[in-house]
Copies of this chain bind each other. A is one copy, B any other.
Amino acid sequence: MKLRKLSLVTAVGLISCSVSAQHYVITDTDLQIRKGAWVVKNTDINQDAPTFLIRNTVLSGGLQNDSEVLTIQSDGLTIRLSPTRGLGILSVEGDGIRLGWNSPVKEVVNPQYINLESRGGNGWLEGFNEMLVRCGFEWTGHAVQADGMLYTLHGRAQNTPVAKLFVDIEDKAPYTITVSGLIQEKAFKKSNLETWVRLSYVPGSKEFIVHDTVTNKGDYPKDYQIIYHSNFGTPILERGAKFVAPVKEISPFNDYAIKGLKNWQTYLGPTRNFDEMVFNIYPYADAKGQTQVMLANKVGNKGVGISFNTRELPVLTLWKNTDTFNQGYVTGIEPGTSFAYPVTIEREQKRVRQLPPGKSANFTLKYSLLSNKEAVRAYNNAIKTIQGDQKTTVVDEPMALE
């Protein structure tokens, strides 16, 4: 199972790193490798390494038949990833706090059973239950018929099994674990995007990094979009829970959200007929573009923070879906290049980016579990520092009508 030592430079090809690491190939369509069931633990690396266990399993039966789940267990966090669904994050757990939510969709649905064009382009909803869904990269946003085709809800990346799946583990402290997957969005004449999606985690810690690189392998410029659709339910989301962010401007996604503008910073409990309210946010950032946002429970002793760079991800969608539990009580905190409007609107409003031939774009997000008052307070203070005395503009009408 342990193949050979490689520096991460070689292994992942994109992260510059001088620490040597164990490199495990779980799947590689070029080398005809698919290990399926696989496991590695700290003692396989080094007697001094902190406790961890990484296990890849193959689910079976129903709509999740042949879907893989890769789990990192440690004294800090337990992280469940779905290689078959674009290496999305199913859930994270630490200190008894779950990051994720309860969707009516229970299975880890294999994309072979999903027709993204069904339900008027909303087939994506038949698999949606993750803590992190990458909405992109060829396009994202609400479904729309344009250019003689149907741009289906939130693109195809999450419904693409990775063509390569690597696990790299540093063989000295801090023994960083990096899980990398390759998403290929290919279609002759239409798309030639290759995206390395990665999660890095220091065993025992309470945070992890998502670091993705999308590359245009084609010879022509290619539009791309990405929304990091990060979803949280109980126990952090609850009546009185707070969303905290350094906000330059916030506006309602549509008319229905206008009446939620006055309470955008707090959440309702599960509320019948609430459906969803969505807000478009331009965050403030520090001089280097770094910013951070947080969801915390009412008393402020449980939370989750996301830090990212507004040069990479300039906008943030706040999705409040505080409907009933069985309907899916959840909020989405969604840094992105785009808002969730259809690609036609995002193009008009100039939020669709373009990659020149051979060029890449990087996206780095750090997710932090905040499991006590001190952690929540410190994260909150850092957000306040970014905001400083800068004003928040509340725009009371949508920037676009779908």
B62 lies within 8 A of A29 (CB): yes
A368 at the interface (CB under 8 A from B): no
B149 lies within 8 A of A118 (CB): yes
Q: Closest CB of chain B to A189's CB: distance in Å?
A: 6
| Distance between Cα atoms of A116 and B65 in the complex (Å) | 19
Choose among A33, A162, A188, A217 the residue with the greatest number of B CB atoms under 10 Å from its CB. Answer: A188
Stretch at the interface among A88-96, A121-129, A285-293, A299-307: A121-129
A33: chain B residues at CB < 8 Å are 60-61
- Would you give the 0/1 interface string for A137-178, flagging 1 where the beta carbon is closer than 8 Å to chain B? 000000000011110100000001111110000000000000
A111 lies within 8 A of B111 (CB): no
- Would you give the 0/1 interface string for A59-71, flagging 1 where the beta carbon is closer than 8 Å to chain B? 1111111100000
Within 8 A of B (CB), among A169-218: 182, 184, 186-192, 217-218
A324 at the interface (CB under 8 A from B): yes
Query: What is the interface of chain A mostly: helix, strand, loop, or mixed?
Result: loop
A63: chain B residues at CB < 8 Å are 29, 160-161, 163, 184
| Distance between Cα atoms of A6 and B129 in the complex (Å) | 32
Stretch at the interface among A98-106, A241-249, A370-378: A98-106
A117 at the interface (CB under 8 A from B): yes
A219: chain B residues at CB < 8 Å are 272, 323-327
A105 lies within 8 A of B217 (CB): no
A27 at the interface (CB under 8 A from B): yes
A269 at the interface (CB under 8 A from B): no
Known contacts A112-B113, A192-B326; 20 additional CB pairs below 8 A are A29-B59, A29-B61, A29-B64, A29-B107, A33-B60, A34-B60, A61-B164, A63-B163, A63-B184, A106-B186, A118-B152, A122-B187, A125-B190, A129-B188, A188-B328, A189-B327, A217-B326, A218-B326, A220-B324, A326-B357
18 contacts between A and B (CB under 8 A): A27-B60, A29-B62, A29-B64, A34-B60, A61-B165, A63-B163, A65-B66, A104-B187, A104-B191, A110-B112, A115-B117, A117-B117, A119-B149, A126-B187, A217-B326, A219-B323, A219-B324, A219-B327
The 3 closest A-B pairs by CB, nearest first: A62-B163, A34-B60, A120-B149
Chain A residues with CB under 8 Å of chain B are: 27-30, 32-34, 57, 59-66, 103-107, 110-113, 115-120, 122-123, 125-126, 128-129, 147-150, 152, 160-165, 182, 184, 186-192, 217-220, 272, 323-328, 357
